């Protein structure tokens, strides 16, 4: 990344601490009850309850026996390593911009501070339909498509195969979340017939100012659910709900990290919480991660589910249009804006 640019420097209060404790408590949940051919209803019910309490108490959990064959994850990871090892000029051939936000990018900002990372984004349902602008009165829509690099040649196939596996896992997790809230198993499916889901390949190069910068600044994921794979280097930190302390999520081989996003916080009327997280970088080691952001159709009106609100527990949020929220948020990722980026608390009742 050349000379250290002041745009990477975090304010004092947001810098990583030299010693961050490893989270002991982030639940590790075994998904085998839903991946065995004759799944026992009692085992599924207790699994849903486990996921419910993890979503409530942590907003994060890890899953094993998730049913995603290792070979797909290995293939996309290898393709990602090959892609990011290319010279900058080569990567910039698939540079994303404000017109097409899919492709390569190395100057993303989170909360107006630049992240120490490079990314490659691709959409899972092509073309992806979203509003043409974040302006509330503009009804125009646009269609987004992926840009695939020439090298490595297997990049596209690796990404598409992995996306198909993530889709299956995401629907299973949404079923368990529905059950945990006392809703019919397929309660959420309709929101995802059309999707704005995307996958990001993250590459965090070694950082000479690892004590001043972050790989990704503190944020909450705006969508419904995130399924993250991280390599063995580690660096993901979660803000623990009990005391507000930043704790490191210890890499668990072949597990996925799941976190509930802002949309589930709203749908569940705050029964579950989208928790703040960030990424610490390493002065010696590079790090790779692959988040899958499961997002509903652009025209989804996000609001607390009617089954979960009543007189005693009135809706905590006003409805908002997901597509407008998404395009507004994306806008702030490209450049430093003079305003705070859009957040769900702006729609609080």
Instruction: Using alpha carbons, select from 156, 144, 148, 145 the residue that is nearest to residue 91.
Output: 148
Does 170 sit near ligand AKG (CB under 6 A)?
no
Q: CB of 221: closest distance to ligand AKG in angstroms?
A: 5
- Residue in the shown chain whose Cβ atom is closest to ligand AKG: 289
Strand bridging mode 60-64 / 28-30: parallel
Q: CB of 223: closest distance to Fe ion in angstroms?
A: 10
Segment near Fe ion (CB under 5 A); pick from 37-45, 221-229, 322-330, 336-344: 221-229
Segment near Fe ion (CB under 5 A); pick from 49-57, 149-157, 161-169, 219-227: 219-227
Q: Rounded to whole angstroms, how far apart are CA atoms 99 and 145? A: 11
The secondary structure of 239-297 as a DSSP string is E-TTT--EEE----TT-EEEEE-HHHHHHTTTSS-PPPEEE---SS--EEEEEEEE---
Closest to Fe ion by CB, 221 vs 271, is 221
Q: Determine if the peptide bond prior to 232 is cis (ω within 30°).
A: no
Closest to ligand AKG by CB, 279 vs 297, is 279
Does 108 sit near Fe ion (CB under 5 A)?
no
Does 76 sit near ligand AKG (CB under 6 A)?
no
Count CB atoms within 10 A of the CB of residue 323.
Answer: 21
Closest to Fe ion by CB, 261 vs 304, is 261
Q: CB of 59: closest distance to ligand AKG in angstroms?
A: 12
Q: Rounded to whole angstroms, how far apart are CA atoms 227 and 221? A: 11
Segment near ligand AKG (CB under 6 A); pick from 28-36, 123-131, 133-141, 228-236: 228-236
Does 221 sit near ligand AKG (CB under 6 A)?
yes
Q: Rounded to whole angstroms, how far apart are CA atoms 204 and 216? A: 9
Residue 91 interacts with, from Fe ion, ligand AKG, none (CB under 5-8 Å by kind) = none
Instruction: Using alpha carbons, select from 335, 345, 343 the residue that is nearest to residue 112.
Output: 335
Residue from the set 165, 221, 270, 271 that interacts with Fe ion by CB under 5 A:
221
Instruction: Using alpha carbons, select from 258, 276, 274 the residue that is nearest to residue 266.
Output: 274
Handedness of CA 84, 144, 165, 217 (dihedral sign): positive
Does 289 sit near ligand AKG (CB under 6 A)?
yes
Binding site for ligand AKG (CB under 6 A): 200, 202, 216, 221, 228, 230, 236, 277, 279, 289, 291
User: Interface residues with Fe ion (CB under 5 A)?
Assistant: 221
């Amino acid at each position: 990344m050349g000379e250290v640019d002041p745009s990477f420097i975090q304010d004092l209060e947001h810098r990583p601490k030299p010693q961050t404790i490893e989270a002991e408590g982030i639940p590790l949940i075994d998904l085998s009850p839903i991946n065995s051919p004759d799944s026992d209803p009692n085992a599924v019910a207790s699994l849903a309850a486990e996921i419910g309490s993890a979503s409530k108490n942590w907003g994060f959990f890890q899953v094993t026996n998730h049913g995603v064959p290792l070979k797909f994850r290995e293939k996309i990871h290898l393709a990602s390593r090959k892609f990011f090892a290319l010279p900058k000029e080569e990567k910039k051939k698939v540079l994303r911009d404000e017109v097409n936000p899919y492709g390569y990018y190395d100057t993303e900002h989170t909360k107006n501070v630049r992240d120490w990372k490079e990314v490659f984004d691709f959409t899972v349902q092509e073309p992806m339909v979203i509003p043409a602008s974040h302006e509330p009165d503009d009804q125009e829509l646009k269609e987004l498509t992926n840009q695939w690099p020439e090298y490595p040649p297997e990049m596209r196939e690796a990404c598409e195969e992995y996306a198909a596996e993530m889709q299956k896992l995401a629907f299973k997790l949404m079923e368990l979340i529905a059950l945990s809230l006392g809703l019919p198993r397929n309660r959420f499916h309709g929101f995802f017939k059309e999707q704005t889901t995307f996958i990001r390949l993250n590459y965090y190069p070694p950082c000479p100012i690892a004590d001043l910068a972050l790989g990704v600044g503190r944020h909450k994921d705006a969508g419904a659910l995130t399924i993250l794979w991280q390599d063995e280097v580690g660096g993901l930190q979660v803000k623990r709900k009990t005391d507000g302390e930043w704790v490191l999520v210890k890499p668990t081989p072949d597990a996925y990290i799941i976190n509930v996003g802002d949309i589930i916080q709203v749908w569940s009327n705050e029964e579950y919480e989208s928790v703040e997280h960030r990424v610490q970088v390493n002065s010696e080691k590079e790090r790779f991660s692959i988040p899958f952001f499961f997002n509903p159709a652009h025209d989804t009106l996000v609001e607390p589910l009617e089954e979960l609100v009543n007189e005693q527990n009135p809706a905590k949020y006003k409805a908002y249009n997901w597509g407008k929220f998404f395009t507004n948020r994306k806008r702030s990722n490209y450049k430093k804006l003079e305003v705070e980026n859009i957040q769900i608390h702006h729609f609080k009742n």
